Amino acid sequence: MRLLVLGTGGMANSHAAAFSTIDGVEMVACVDVDATRAATFAERHSIPRTFSSLEEAIAWGEFDAATNVTPDRIHYRTTLQLIAAGKHVLCEKPLAETYAEADEMAAAAETAGLIGMVNLTYRNVAPLQVARQMVLDGTIGRVRHIEASYLQSWLVSKAWGDWAKEAQWLWRLSRKHGSNGVLGDVGIHILDFASYGSAADVERIFTRLKTFDKAPENRIGDYDLDANDSFAMTVEFSNGAMGVVHSSRWATGHLNELRLKLHGDRGALEVIHTPQGSTLKGCLGEDIETGTWRDIDAGTVPTNYQRFVDAVTTGQKQEPDFRRAANLQRVLDLSFATETERREMKV
């Protein structure tokens, strides 16, 4: 598979490193409006060609698929261009900034018969995959209650840098700079973590958003710090379970942690993912009576990058695809509406 890397910023290095380890993949070109950055990236990853525009790369055309690692607001336009050119696409999350755009992108890939996948990176967490299969196998019975959280502390800690002085963080706090806050940034991750892990879709939601004061007049330079910092969502799932999904950038003591608890009428499972690794625990069988939790070995699973290559090579669709990402974006869009209207909404 001949691969084009579209966008050569920070996350593109992770894509290139991952694809370089997969047999049969040749990264043939990269694209970036910054020619110097593109050249540096190409040299680092031994990529023979660079382009300063996607139009130039498409006119050249000597590639089968692209990995789209452009900024969020660019995903819609560039992905549709690639699909129109007959190219398979792995797109960074979120697929688009609105459900309408994401739906159009999903429909375009489906109509063209092309592979369109989204890099929801936490699908790479083996304990999540194993937990989902255990739910499908009936190991914990009927799922009744779901707890999911995505906790970050970069507004409290300087472990990731000083957000008050670095534009790479400040834009994430400002709506006019393209941020939809923590809900738009990581909401899609934790919604996918919860609904995929529980093998159920989100049917009804009620979401509350909160923006905290972070500077005098909540402004630093040209940045109005008005994007949401925390959200809490009550959810009804298609399997009948109730749940709570929440996230915050003010979660002191948690650098970057995803947690999912699935409570069934025959047992329970807990998935925890942190920068230090992932774990799966279960409370099953007789352990229910004593509330005893035991470790479960989850092994390893193919990454999104490997699944994308397999899908392109075989022509068989794999998850997470564009339609999945579009459906998640619909939940996010409705979350903003529920905050405004202060009422529950059906997805």
CATH of the domain at 158: 3.30.360.10
* CB proximity list for 335: less than 8 A, separation 6 or greater: 183, 187, 205, 207, 209, 231, 233
Number of H helices, E strands in the chain: 11, 17
Q: What is the pLDDT of residues 231-282, one digit of tens each?
A: 999 999 999 999 999 999 999 999 999 999 999 999 999 999 999 999 999 9
Going by the DSSP 8-state scheme, the letter that residue 214 receives in this structure is -
Range of the domain at 265: 122-302+318-346
Q: Is residue 312 part of a domain?
A: no
What is the C-alpha to C-alpha distance for residues 182 and 173, in angstroms, rounded to an integer? 8
Average pLDDT over residues 296-314: 97
Q: Are residues 112 and 133 in the same domain?
A: no
Q: How far apart are CA 128 and CA 261, in angstroms?
A: 11
Torsion 116-122-125-131 (CA) sign: negative
d(CA 126, CA 122): 9
Task: For residue 80, give every residue at least 6 positions away whose Cβ sits within 8 Å of its Cβ, in sequence order, or none.
Answer: 104, 105, 108
Tokens describing residue 207 = 């979401």
Of the candidates 317, 263, 337, 290, which has an alpha carbon nearest to the alpha carbon of residue 114? Answer: 317
Q: Are residues 234 and 338 in the same domain?
A: yes
When the pLDDT of each residue in the chain is averaged and rounded to a whole number, the result is 96
Q: Which two tokens stand for residue 41?
A: 């990236």
| CATH assignment at residue 66 | 3.40.50.720
3-state SS assignment for residue 275: coil
pLDDT confidence of residue 10: 87
pLDDT of residue 167: 81
Q: Could you tell me whether strands 242-248 and 230-237 are parallel, antiparallel, or unpaired per DSSP bridges? A: antiparallel
113, 137: one domain? no
Q: Do 281 and 292 contact (CB within 8 A), yes or no?
A: no
Examine the fold and report which residue of 120, 141, 175 is the final residue of a domain before the chain moves on: 120
Bridge partners of residue 321, in order along the sequence: 117
Last residue of a domain, one of 62, 85, 120: 120
Strands of 159-266 (E only): list them. 202-210, 219-220, 223-224, 230-237, 242-248, 256-264
Between CA 90 and CA 75 the distance in angstroms is 11
* 182 lies in the same domain as 203: yes
Q: Which helix (H) or strand (E) holds 6?
A: strand 2-6
Give the pair of three-digit tokens for residue 310.
């397999």
347, 203 in Cβ contact below 8 A? yes
Instruction: Read off the pLDDT of each residue in 280-309 and give the average, rounded to a whole number.
Output: 97
| 223 and 78 both lie in a single domain | no
Res. 178: pLDDT tops 90: no
Number of domains in the chain: 2
Check whether residue 111 and residue 140 sit in a common domain: no
**How would residue 217 be classed by pLDDT, with cut points 50, 70 and 90?**
very high
